[in-house]
């Protein structure tokens, strides 16, 4: 099959039928892994991301340029969308996938 025919077939594919190809995508899209809640401790420069499987991801607030100078009030003013966290006032969003990738690299 020629590449352009392959592309046409792909364009006609129902995306909901495509299975995840990577372990992180499987965890997120097929197994339903989500961010449950987020906690901050600015004195310790710590963000805790609690997942719905009861695991905890710990990151330094200062690792994120737009968060490191934020006030506690700004940090707490976020939207948890399950697959990501969004701070409207800071124009910052962090994805669950990004947190997981960082965990794999750090392991």
Q: Is the pLDDT of residue 2 over 70?
A: no
Q: In the chain, what is the straight-line distance between the N-terminal and C-terminal CA atoms, in Å? A: 41
Q: 3-state DSSP call for residue 96? A: helix
**Residue 85 and residue 104: Cα distance in Å, rounded?**
19
* pLDDT tens digits, one per residue of 21-77: 689 999 999 999 999 999 999 999 999 999 999 999 999 999 999 999 999 999 999
Helices and strands (H and E) in the chain: how many: 4, 6
**Residue 47 and residue 50: Cα distance in Å, rounded?**
10
pTM value is: 0.77
- Residue 95's nearest CA partner among 80, 84, 81 is 84
């Amino acid at each position: 099959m020629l590449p352009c025919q392959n592309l046409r077939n792909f364009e006609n594919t129902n995306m909901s039928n495509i299975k995840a190809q990577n372990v992180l995508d499987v965890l997120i899209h097929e197994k339903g892994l989500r961010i449950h809640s987020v906690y901050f401790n600015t004195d310790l420069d710590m963000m805790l991301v609690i997942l719905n499987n009861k695991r905890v991801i710990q990151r330094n607030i200062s690792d994120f340029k737009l968060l490191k100078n934020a006030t506690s009030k700004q940090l707490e003013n976020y939207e948890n969308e399950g697959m990501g966290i969004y701070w409207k006032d800071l124009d910052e969003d962090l994805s669950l996938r990004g947190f997981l990738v960082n965990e794999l690299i750090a392991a």
